[in-house]
């Protein structure tokens, strides 16, 4: 296999659900009720170097393709779906769902799996959560691989909601056009009202509109299959509802933001991979982060947008992971 290609498809050697209130494991067939049940899986080498995959969104969930960034002979890969996301239950739930709890969920999972420390791999919102976790628990982190950096600053949120129309006016017109004209001055509030409506006839079309907007703007060149994947009802509801909830609360980040807490992790090695034409998380955030991080290497992919699966970004990520081998 040529260096930089994704590794072959692989199935988990272990998987389950972790009830977050009491930390007891259950089988994946448990019904979707009661406490938050966090889906987790492990692939690769059970005795290998641990690495944790953190998905984007918030609310997007992880998929089988994300297992393939890691050499299965070397890495013990842990993949999970954050509260309310993907295969975790209850689906699209906002109950007790905030950044502090997501950070502590990672610690709960680490202790449950008996892992002392691990490398973090996160893209988009996954990069945000990886930074939050590393800043809270630096002694548990060996290094970080980050892609499509999102620091959760006000101007980054405003860019997603309004600024993107300067580059994707047609996609933004469809996104804004889902709500009445008199509500378009506050798109977040307009979508909040619809995404929290109990009627599926209201919240599902809103979730499709939100998620299709993000999917359309995520690649340098159009990828119809990706947009369709974003728009599937189950996937779109988790992404749109949870993303709206976090945006509405400014990501539940500390007042000083993530850059204000870099001193505690500045010693950690980091690989930052950024698409030059990333319109969802513009490159300035990756540049600002690298400028505050002496141990970081910034790779700017010249022919990519936001998606981790664009060819140049895919190759750069696999190479970045390989450089993190202990």
Whether residue 9 lies inside any domain: the answer is no
User: Structural domain of residue 128, as residue ranges?
Assistant: 14-152+253-323
Domain termination site, one of 247, 281, 309: 247
Is residue 122 domain-shared with residue 134, that is, in the same domain?
A: yes
pLDDT value at residue 230 = 64
HEC per residue, 158-225: HHHHCHHHHCCHHHHHHHHHCCCHHHHHHHHHHHHHHHCCCCHHHHHHHHHHHHHHHHHCCCCCCCHH
What value does the mean pLDDT take over residues 270-299? 97
Quote the mean pLDDT of the chain: 93
pLDDT value at residue 28 = 44
pLDDT at position 31 over 50: no
Is residue 39 domain-shared with residue 142, that is, in the same domain?
A: yes
Is residue 27 domain-shared with residue 141, that is, in the same domain?
A: yes
Is residue 37 domain-shared with residue 132, that is, in the same domain?
A: yes
Quote the number of domains for the chain. 2
User: Which pLDDT band, with edges at 50, 70 and 90, does 97 fall under?
Assistant: very high
pLDDT value at residue 35 = 83
Is residue 135 domain-shared with residue 40, that is, in the same domain?
A: yes
Whether residue 8 lies inside any domain: the answer is no
DSSP conformation letters of 44-111: E-TTSEEEEEE-STTTT---GGGGGGS-TTTEEEEEE--TTSTTSBSTT--TT-SHHHHHHHHHHHHH
Whether residue 311 lies inside any domain: the answer is yes
Is residue 19 domain-shared with residue 112, that is, in the same domain?
A: yes
Q: What percent of the chain has pLDDT over 90?
A: 89
pLDDT at position 29 over 50: no
Q: Please, what's the b/e burial string for 19-37 (b: 16 or more CB within 10 A of its CB; e: otherwise)?
A: bbeeeeeeeeeeeeeeebb
pLDDT at position 23 over 50: no
Is residue 35 domain-shared with residue 140, that is, in the same domain?
A: yes
Whether residue 7 lies inside any domain: the answer is no
User: Which pLDDT band, with edges at 50, 70 and 90, does 22 fall under?
Assistant: low
Q: Which two tokens stand for residue 231?
A: 């728009």
Residues designated as active site: 124, 278, 306
Is residue 37 domain-shared with residue 143, that is, in the same domain?
A: yes
User: Which pLDDT band, with edges at 50, 70 and 90, does 27 fall under?
Assistant: very low
133 or 21, which is more confident: 133
Is residue 229 domain-shared with residue 260, that is, in the same domain?
A: no
pLDDT at position 2 over 90: no
Per-residue pLDDT reduced to its tens digit, 201-216: 999 999 999 999 999 9
Per-residue pLDDT reduced to its tens digit, 263-281: 999 999 999 999 999 999 9
What CATH number is associated with residue 289? Answer: 3.40.50.1820
Per-residue pLDDT reduced to its tens digit, 218-257: 999 987 776 666 657 567 999 999 999 999 999 999 999 9
Domain termination site, one of 247, 279, 297: 247
Domain termination site, one of 191, 221, 247: 247
Whether residue 6 lies inside any domain: the answer is no
pLDDT value at residue 5 = 85
pLDDT value at residue 4 = 62
Is residue 137 domain-shared with residue 241, that is, in the same domain?
A: no
pLDDT at position 53 over 80: yes
pTM of the model: 0.94
Whether residue 267 lies inside any domain: the answer is yes
Whether residue 109 lies inside any domain: the answer is yes
Whether residue 2 lies inside any domain: the answer is no
User: Is-cis flag, bond preceding 90, omega within 30?
Assistant: yes
pLDDT value at residue 34 = 63
Is residue 126 domain-shared with residue 202, that is, in the same domain?
A: no
Is residue 123 domain-shared with residue 213, that is, in the same domain?
A: no
């Amino acid at each position: 296999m040529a260096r930089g290609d994704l590794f072959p498809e692989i199935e988990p050697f272990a998987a389950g659900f972790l009830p977050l209130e009491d930390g007891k494991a259950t089988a994946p067939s448990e019904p979707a009720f009661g406490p938050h049940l966090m889906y987790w899986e492990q692939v690769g080498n059970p005795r290998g170097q641990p690495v944790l995959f953190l998905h984007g969104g918030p609310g997007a969930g992880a998929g089988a393709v994300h297992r393939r960034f890691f050499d299965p002979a070397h890495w013990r890969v842990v993949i999970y779906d954050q509260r309310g996301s993907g295969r975790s239950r209850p689906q699209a739930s906002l109950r007790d769902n905030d950044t502090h709890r997501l950070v502590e969920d990672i610690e709960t999972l680490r202790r449950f799996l008996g892992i002392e420390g691990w490398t973090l791999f996160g893209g988009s919102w996954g990069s945000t959560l990886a930074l939050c976790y590393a800043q809270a628990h630096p002694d548990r982190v060996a290094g970080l691989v980050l892609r499509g950096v999102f620091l959760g600053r006000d101007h980054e949120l405003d860019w997603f909601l309004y600024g993107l129309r300067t580059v994707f006016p047609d996609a933004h017109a469809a996104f804004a056009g889902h709500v009445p004209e008199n509500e378009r001055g506050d798109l977040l509030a307009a979508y909040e009202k619809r995404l929290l409506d109990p009627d599926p006839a209201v919240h599902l079309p809103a979730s499709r509109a939100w998620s299709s907007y993000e999917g359309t703007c995520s690649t340098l060149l159009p990828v119809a299959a990706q947009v369709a994947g974003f728009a599937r009802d189950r996937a779109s509801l988790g992404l749109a509802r949870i993303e709206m909830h976090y945006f509405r609360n400014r990501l539940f980040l500390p007042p000083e933001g993530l850059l204000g807490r870099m001193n505690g992790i500045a010693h950690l090695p980091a690989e930052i991979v950024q698409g030059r034409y990333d319109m969802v998380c513009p490159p300035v955030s990756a540049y600002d982060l690298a400028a505050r991080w002496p141990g970081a290497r910034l790779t700017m992919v010249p022919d990519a947008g936001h998606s981790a699966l664009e060819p140049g970004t895919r190759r750069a990520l696999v190479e970045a992971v390989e450089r993190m081998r202990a």
